[in-house]
Amino acid sequence: MEHKVLVGIDCSPNAERAVDYVGTLLRVHDQVRITLHHVLTAPSADILPDGHKRRRALEERRERALRQLEAMAQRLVERGIPRDRIRLQVQECEKGEGIARLLLEEQRRGGYQTVVVGRRGMSKREEFLFGSVSSKIVREARNCTVWVVQ
């Protein structure tokens, strides 16, 4: 039976640890399908008012995200996950859309049984004030298993 795993990727070392954990744990599972998913936040018009420059900055971010996803996919391959079982995905969002919400929408839409995220290194105060993606996913996820890797 196929098991679909959605791994939320950002630029943190915790995302690398999450990928390493997934690769090590699931390399023996021959029916696993892993999607490495990066939510790309568009530059704010307040910070970068010129539309052309904003589009160029977004494209540069997309290229950087794809390079990072390729590197993460290679980490999975090095741990024994065949490349044809790994999918890379970049999703764009506007600031304030909510990365956790977008990941959970993808989980539901794609029928993923497991969602994996790294726990970002926030202090308790920062987490209380701003929330965290991993906390929101744990709190709001339904019909799936959630792994938070630190």
- For residue 12, the model assigns a pLDDT of 82
Helices within the chain (DSSP H only) = 13-26, 51-78, 99-110, 124-130, 133-140
Parent domain of 11: 3-149
- Cβ–Cβ < 8 Å for 54, 26: no
* 37: helix, strand or coil: strand
- For residue 131, the model assigns a pLDDT of 52
Mean pLDDT by runs of 10 across the 150 residues of the chain is: 94 89 94 95 76 86 94 96 97 79 95 91 44 85 93
- For residue 122, the model assigns a pLDDT of 45
93/7 Cα distance (integer angstroms): 17
Q: Look at residues 111, 104, 100 and name the one whose alpha carbon lies nearest to residue 33.
A: 111
The CATH number that applies at residue 80 is 3.40.50.620
- For residue 120, the model assigns a pLDDT of 66
Number of domains, the chain: 1
